[in-house]
């Protein structure tokens, strides 16, 4: 997404000056504004958030505050899209920096998914394939899933959604994150070799064969999270060597070998809850985004909490939400101007809402 340059007077502001102007803008906008902050945001952004959470939770919070006309979503583009879909377009959703995308979401375009679907139709009856999209995907992919009888999922409810899909079809196509799909299916008892195949959208017929498509039950898209792909079994081994009593907890966007080597795996909310409720004095090696891990360590000083990856690597696209962009969006609203509104076309939103509603009907995700 293209982001216009910020005004020079904002770019030159010091952190203290920026904070002072954000505070003024926040007071002036009052109850007309809701600021949502994703867990992976830097502390300089999180401190201004009215609510913090994962992407779906924040979108649901936006929908629950229908009386608030303006929502600034401090996350990435697909998250703001979901908020716009779940609020029915009745509120104005703003993304402070349009350059804040998601590398995983970019690994599956609507063109690629539609080409995949056409290829699959030459091998099997696609009416018996249930498409599942991780919420970390564009509105166009959610709409595709909605039109074809599938559902969205989160990292916390992927198991239930996959069970639901396999009750309704012979196979499922899971995109864009191969690791969440594989880890969830393995937890359900499926074999990663015998029951799954990897579809590479950059290769003819996904780099596989008609026979393989007919044989396999779980079709996984070749996509991944660039942050969670950094975690390795060697990092876990090193953590256990340094801290014999450490408990390893990782996100299911990590690879299967990392998940198997960990003590626990689960969604961002699961990681937060597990560590918060753990006894004082416990030691935790965490495999997820560094801003979240660092915040956990500060909020729970009675425990030893560290990131498994020794190289500090925040989510680079999430990091594009700088306080200067938040200030710019707020001050524009003070002038009666809306910048960076994220608006999903009504026809896309209607189909995408089907995919989200099917997921929500299976039970609330935290």
Render 302-319 in DSSP notation, one character per residue. TSEEEES-SS----TTGG
Asked whether residue 83 carries a pLDDT value surpassing 80, the answer given is: yes
Side by side, which strands form the sheet with 171-175? 151-153, 129-134, 171-175, 218-221, 196-199
What class is the 228-307 domain? alpha beta
- Taking the domains of the chain in order of start, what are their residue ranges? 8-100+317-344, 105-225, 228-307
Q: How far is the C-alpha of 157 from the C-alpha of 175, rounded, in Å? A: 15
Mean pLDDT of 229-238: 97
Largest CA distance in the chain: 63
Q: In the CATH hierarchy, which fold is given to the domain comprising 8-100+317-344? A: Rossmann fold (3.40.50)
pLDDT score for 57: 87
Q: In which band, very low, low, confident or very high, does the pLDDT at 2 lie, cut at 50, 70 and 90?
A: confident
Asked if residue 254 lies in contact with residue 280, where contact means CB atoms within 8 angstroms, the answer is: no
Position 178 scores a pLDDT of 98
The answer to whether the 8-100+317-344 and 228-307 domains have the same CATH topology is yes
User: How high is the pLDDT of residue 365?
Assistant: 39
pLDDT at 193 over 50: yes
Q: HEC profile for 246-291?
A: CEEEECCCCCHHHHHHCCEECCHHHHHHHHHHCCCCCEEEEECCHH
Question: What's 8's DSSP letter?
Answer: H
Average pLDDT over every residue of 327-349? 97
Q: Which 3 state secondary structure label does DSSP give 153?
A: strand
- Section 233-257 average pLDDT: 98
Phi, psi of 207 (to 5 degrees): 75, 15
For residue 316, is pLDDT > 80?
no
The pTM is what? 0.92
What's the token pair of residue 184?
């969830």
3-state helix, strand and coil shares in percent for the chain, rounded to the nearest 5:
50, 15, 35
Q: How far is CA 94 from CA 61, 104, 205, 277, in A?
A: 15, 21, 38, 34
Helix (H), strand (E) counts: the chain: 16, 13
Mean pLDDT computed over 167-175: 97
User: Quick one: which of 316, 247, 321 has its CA closest to 285?
Assistant: 247
Task: State percent of the chain over pLDDT 70.
Answer: 98
What's the distance, Cα to Cα, between the start and end of the chain in Å? 29
DSSP β-bridge partners for residue 129: 171
CA distance 207 to 220: 12
Confidence class for position 364, pLDDT limits 50, 70, 90:
very low
pLDDT at position 311 over 70: yes
> Going by DSSP bridges, is the β-strand pair 283-287/33-38 parallel, antiparallel, or unpaired?
unpaired
What confidence category does residue 366 fall into, taking pLDDT thresholds of 50, 70 and 90? very low
């Amino acid at each position: 997404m293209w982001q216009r340059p910020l005004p020079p007077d904002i770019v030159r502001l010091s952190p203290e000056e920026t904070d002072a102007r954000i505070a003024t803008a926040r007071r002036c906008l009052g109850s007309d504004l809701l600021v949502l902050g994703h867990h992976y945001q830097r502390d300089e952004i999180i401190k201004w958030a009215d609510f913090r959470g994962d992407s779906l939770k924040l979108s649901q919070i936006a929908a629950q505050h229908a009386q608030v006309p303006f929502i600034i979503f401090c996350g990435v583009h697909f998250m703001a899209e979901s908020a716009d879909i779940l609020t029915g377009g009745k509120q104005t959703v703003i993304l402070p920096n349009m350059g804040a995308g998601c590398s995983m979401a970019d690994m599956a375009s609507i063109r690629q998914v539609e080409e995949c679907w056409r290829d699959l139709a030459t091998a099997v009856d696609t009416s018996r394939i249930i498409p599942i999209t991780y919420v970390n995907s564009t509105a166009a992919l959610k709409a595709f899933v909605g039109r074809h009888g599938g559902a969205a999922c989160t990292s916390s409810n992927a198991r239930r959604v996959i069970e639901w899909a396999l009750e309704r079809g012979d196979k499922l196509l899971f995109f864009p994150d191969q690791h969440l799909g594989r880890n969830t299916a393995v937890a359900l008892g499926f074999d990663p070799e015998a029951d799954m195949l990897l579809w590479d959208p950059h290769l003819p017929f996904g780099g596989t064969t008609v026979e393989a498509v007919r044989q396999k039950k779980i079709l996984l898209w070749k996509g991944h999270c660039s942050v969670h792909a950094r975690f390795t079994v060697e990092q876990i081994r090193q953590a256990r060597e340094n801290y014999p009593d450490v408990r390893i907890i990782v996100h299911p966007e990590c690879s299967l070998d990392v998940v198997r080597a960990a003590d626990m795996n689960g969604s961002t909310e699961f990681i937060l809850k597990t560590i918060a409720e753990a006894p004082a004095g416990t030691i935790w090696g965490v495999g997820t985004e560094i801003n979240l891990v660092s915040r956990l360590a500060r909020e729970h000083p009675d425990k030893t909490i560290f990131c498994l990856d020794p190289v500090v690597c925040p989510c680079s696209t999430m990091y594009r939400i700088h306080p200067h962009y938040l200030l710019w969006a707020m001050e524009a609203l003070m002038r009666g101007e809306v910048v960076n509104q994220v608006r999903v076309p009504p026809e896309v939103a209607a189909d995408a809402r089907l995919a989200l509603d099917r997921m929500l009907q299976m039970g609330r995700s935290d």
